[in-house]
Amino acid sequence: MARMKFLCDAERCIECNGCVTACKQEHDIPWGVNRRRVVTINDGVPGERSISVACMHCSDAPCMAVCPVDCFYHTEEGIVLHDKDLCIGCGYCFYACPFGAPQFPQAGAFGVRGKMDKCTFCAGGPEANNSEAEYKKYGRNRLAEGKLPACAEMCSTKALLGGDSDVLSDIYRERVTNRAARGTPGSPPWGWDTAYGRPDAPKPPAAPAAGAKS
Amino acid sequence: MIRQAFLLAVGAAVALVIAGCGERPQVIEYKQGKYQGKPDTPPYDAAPFNGNKTEWERTIKTRNQNQNEYKRT
């Protein structure tokens, strides 16, 4: 098996935040902590694009490199996990992460930070699989139940894919090939114009060609 | 007087050059850390797979393919 990865298709994501809700519900995430969130570029402008972002489980993870107590590790499947018993909540990983994945629950008054919390790819942490201790610290271990991350599995448009990176690549390749085969250069079968543009809508007048006689 | 000023300037220049030679690199060498926490068990270790890695991989692969709607329809 190759490495476990997430892949989000910006052409399909409709910013429903279903993945965010599924994650929060599945792991009983406290208020103020968002292991996953949806980021929208050019929000409200025709052609806007959204993408669901969480820990990308980097092969060469910067959080792992900067952690002063070395509490991060890679699993056999390439998932980046951490030991909350060792974490000191310093926040270095938050500054190092290009995706803003590490989250810090407010543990007390005056903004005191708790131990870091992040997406576990629904793989729990360094506790006995599916134990109560694992659920309390890291959330549910769906991988040990033979399931994939809740966010990806419940994505209604299948914009967010999660699992074996080789399989995801195959799925995405097939999807893109089908898109190109069904569409024509002027009107692809997806996107803003297909959803909102009427085919009989008046077209803007074409600019006269250079050198054309009136 | 001029001689003294000249010697003072030469002395200052020599001190400056020597101070430059004594500069040490400020960047420390990065050393990759090693995980210090508790060991984790693989996902197929406990029930329902009970250590059967092949069965676990097959299940995960099936779930993976469920994400491909071109195969489901």
> A-chain residues within 8 Å CB-CB of B67?
148, 152-153, 158, 161-163, 168, 171
Rounded to 5 degrees, φ, ψ at A165 are -60, -35
Q: Indicate yes or no: CB of A148 within 8 angstroms of CB of B63.
A: yes
Flag whether residue B22 sits within 8 Å of chain A, measured between CB atoms.
Answer: no
- Please report, to the nearest 10 degrees, the dihedral formed by the alpha carbons of residues A29, A30, A31, A33 taken in order: -60
pLDDT, tens digit only, all 214 positions of chain A: 779 999 999 989 999 999 999 999 999 999 889 999 999 999 988 889 999 999 999 999 999 999 999 999 999 999 999 999 999 999 999 999 999 999 998 867 777 788 999 999 999 999 999 999 999 999 999 999 999 999 999 999 999 999 999 999 999 988 887 776 555 555 556 656 666 666 666 666 666 665 544 4
CB–CB contact B68 A174 (8 Å): yes
- Assign A43 to helix, strand or coil: coil
Instruction: State the Cα–Cα distance between residues A213 and A127, nearest whole angstrom.
Output: 80
**CA B30 centroid distance within chain:** 8
Question: Which two structure tokens, joined as six digits, stand for A205?
Answer: 């007048």
Q: Taking a C-beta distance cutoff of 8 angstroms, is the pair A70, A33 a contact?
A: no
User: Would the pTM count as exceeding 0.90?
Assistant: no
In this predicted complex, what is the ipTM?
A: 0.79
Q: Which of A51, A55, A57, A111 is nearest to A80 (CA)?
A: A57
Residues 6+ apart with CB under 8 A from A188: A179, A194
Residue B46 near chain A (CB below 8 Å): yes
Q: What is the C-alpha separation between A114 and A108, in angstroms, rounded?
A: 8
Task: Report in angstroms the alpha-carbon separations of A50 from A72, A102, A149.
Answer: 29, 20, 20
Taking the Cβ of residue B70 and every Cβ of chain A, the question of whether any pair is shorter than 8 Å is answered with yes
Which chain A residue shows the shortest CA-CA distance from B50?
A: A144
Interface test with B, best of A88, A171, A177 (most B CBs within 10 A): A171
How far is it, in rounded angstroms, from Cα A160 to Cα A152?
A: 5
Inter-residue contact B42 to A75 (CB < 8 Å) = yes
Tokens of A127: 């506790």
Question: A146–B63: do the CB atoms touch at under 8 Å?
Answer: yes
Q: Which two tokens stand for residue A149?
A: 């991350």
Return the structure tokens found at B27.
Answer: 């960047």
Residue B25: Cβ-neighbour burial (10 angstroms; 0-12, 13-18, 19+): exposed
Query: Chain A contact for B33, CB < 8 A?
Result: yes
Instruction: Work out whether the CA dihedral A31, A32, A36, A37 comes out positive or negative.
Output: positive
